[in-house]
Structure 1
Amino acid sequence: MAKFYKIWLVFDPRRVFVAQGVFLFLLAAMIHLVLLSTEH
């Protein structure tokens, strides 16, 4: 785990958090739509 900090030298932390938030939102929306479509 010593090399883990080098990731932040390559990626902008704010961009990583924004991308992670968007990804989690899209993942939650997709799961929600799948669950809604399978209930019928």
Structure 2
Amino acid sequence: MWRLWLIFDPRRTLVALAIFLFVLALLIHFILLSTDRFNWIEGPAVAPAAAVAAPVAAPAAAPAADAAATPAS
């Protein structure tokens, strides 16, 4: 293994490795920022309020026959 460092200059090799890893980290972060799920700056996209709102059930109708049959006092 020590002969490998006789072929390659250690300073150049370590600088090249550091630059490569930095560029790789930037690339991975930009890929994650481009997705909706992993975008930590803008957050996930919020659906419109109409799509989120649950349908409202109709209120139960009062029996009309009982209300009309009793005289008002």
TM over 0.5: yes
* Range of TM-score over shorter length: 0.7 to 0.9
Q: Distance in 2 between matches of 1:5 and 1:24?
A: 23
Superposed, which structure 2 residues align to 1:27-38 within 5 Å?
27-38=24-35
Q: Distance in 2 between matches of 1:22 and 1:30?
A: 12
Largest Rg, 1 or 2: 2
CA positional deviation for 1:26? 0.3
Work out the number of aligned pairs and report it: 37
Q: Distance in 2 between matches of 1:7 and 1:27?
A: 25
Give 1:6's aligned residue: 3
Give 1:20's aligned residue: 17
Q: What are structure 2's unaligned runs of at least 5 residues?
A: 40-73
Identity of aligned residues (%): 54
CA positional deviation for 1:38? 1.2
Write 1 or 2 for the structure with the bigger share of helix: 1
User: Which runs of structure 1 show a deviation greater than 4 angstroms over 4 or more consecutive aligned residues?
Assistant: none
Q: TM-score when scaled to structure 2?
A: 0.48
